[in-house]
Amino acid sequence: MAKAERLDRTFRALGRRLRVAQWNLDGKRTLRRPLLVLNGIGMNLELIDGLARMLAPRRVVSFDMPGIGKSSDPLVPYNAVTMAMTASIVLDRLGIDRADVLGISWGGGIAQQLALQHRPRIGRLVLAATSAGVIMAPGSAVDLARLVDPAAFTAGKTLHRTLALLTNGGGRGAPVSLNAATPPSLLGWTYQLASLVGWSSVPLLPWLDVPTLILAGDEDQVVPAWNARFLHALIPDSRLKLIEGGGHLFMLSHPREFVMELERFLDANAAVESA
């Protein structure tokens, strides 16, 4: 059985010093493509550690966004275009020509931009608990207000409370340990929040020719499931799966169901696509 180990590295990409993690490096010897995970707002990579280990022997890659986790604060603001370029550079630095991509919440916007901007680098695309950007069905006003409140993310106790509320977000799931969450810097959180202001993938999604799976919690009060249906309607030949009883971070509260759906999709025609 492959060892579900994690290896952390730090290097610069587009002037940003990033902490990059890889799990399941024995997966280099499998036919499965590596999986690049782009996290939600304020989420350090330790929060997906359990999911990455469940995906062994698949090689999993992720990185802390600027000012999040152990990545240095950003020197200048960034946007979806520059962060998609950064993700592509991370793949280059790790010697990965082509990867599958999972975008979670905020990271789903970057994942869409990456697939549109660097199509040859992408095998399959998974969008979880996300939207098409500014053209979206808004969620609960209380939850959205919490998302734009720096006090809810940049202090340890309030961050854990915020993530706990977002994890269920109206849904029903197993209790989730959030002890691994670390508060982002105020600058990192602010720039990450601002990076998708005014951004929308809607005009280009009908031309997205990447095999795409869209996952959403059917009780998500932050990014309601209507947004997943909207993405499904715009992206040609995409697949849609609603996680019953899932809140916004259903991948943490329903990990087995999430990983099952993820692997089923990523492994479909994997040998053919890798040829």
A 10 A CB-CB count for 75 gives 12
Query: Rounded to 5, what percent of the chain is helix, strand, coil?
Result: 40, 20, 40
Which is it for the CA torsion 253, 257, 263, 268, positive or negative? negative
By the 8 A CB rule, do 132 and 110 touch? no
Is 3 exposed, middle or buried (CB count within 10 Å of its CB: 0-12, 13-18, 19+)? exposed
Rounded distance between C-alpha atoms, residue 263 and residue 104, angstroms = 16
Rounded distance between C-alpha atoms, residue 87 and residue 78, angstroms = 13
Burial 5-30 (b: 16+ CB within 10 A, else e): ebeeeeeebeebebbbbbbbbbbeeb
Tokens of residue 193, six digits: 């929040």
* 131 noted as active-site residue: no
57 preceded by a cis bond (ω within 30 of 0): yes
Catalytic residue among 105, 131, 185, 195: 105
141: CB partners within 8 A, 6+ apart: none
Rounded distance between C-alpha atoms, residue 26 and residue 56, angstroms = 9
Residues labelled catalytic: 105
